Amino acid sequence: MKKFAVLGMGRFGRSVALALTDAGADVLIADANEEIISKMSPSVKVATIVDLTDENAIKALDLGDMDGVVVATAHSLEASIMCVMVAKECGVKNITAKAGSHRMGDILKRVGADKIIFPEEESGIRTAKKLISSNFLEYYDYSDELCIIETEPRKEWLGKSLSELQLRAKYSANVIAVKEKGSIKKTIDPKAPLQEGCTLIIVMNKKDAKKL
């Protein structure tokens, strides 16, 4: 079972901690706010009250045992820097840090963060793309070139199989999973007809997304 630490229990930190727990990971959370830690405690493996600007207090969390650390203290640059630096010194190989600006992101990269997240910016971009492409249920940037799209099949696709539709050839769209009745089928039968109410999860090049 993988182990993660989420440092900082703002809205972003709480959502990450709960999502990791739902995915089956052991999650340690830390924040200076006693009330938030008390509310989150039943939902995670370990919940502890910590001053995230205190180097020794962060070291006491034994972050070196973690598969990954998420630094979600974007409201305090001092706390973010301290958490990233200590996690790096402890040998954590996967450090993700939330940043409120690109300048803050650059600083956190320099002190050891492996990945920077801009939640508000990314949420705004995703919302705009969903509004422009109203037939997309979700749109996620996967890399500079690739995106992941969730979309309902067009009416003319229903009753036809993926083999018949040839979406890869026509749209450069690779269907990686089909969601039906809330559950995701990772193993796809290319000859099974698409049913009304299902959702296709597609990986494709961003420049080809407009074809859909």
Domains and CATH numbers, the chain: 3-117 (3.40.50.720), 123-209 (3.30.70.1450)
Q: What is the pLDDT of residue 127?
A: 58
Which residue's entry shows tokens 């309902």? 152
Distance CA 187, CA 20 (A): 23
pTM: 0.62
Q: Could you give phi then psi for residue 104, rounded to 5 degrees?
A: -65, -40
Distance CA 7, CA 12 (A): 11
| Residue 125, token pair as written in the block | 């971009």
Distance CA 133, CA 129 (A): 6
Q: What is the pLDDT of residue 131?
A: 53
Neighbours of 29 (CB within 10 A): 30
| Residue 75, token pair as written in the block | 């409201």
Sign of the dihedral through C-alpha 61, 64, 68, 71: positive
Q: What is the pLDDT of residue 47?
A: 97
Point out which residues pair with 185 in neighbouring strands: 178
Residue numbers in the chain where pLDDT is lower than 70? 74, 121-135, 141-142, 182, 186
State which H helix or E strand residue 148 sits in: strand 146-151
Q: What is the pLDDT of residue 129?
A: 58
Q: What is the pLDDT of residue 132?
A: 52
Rounded to a whole number of angstroms, the CA Rg of the chain reads 21
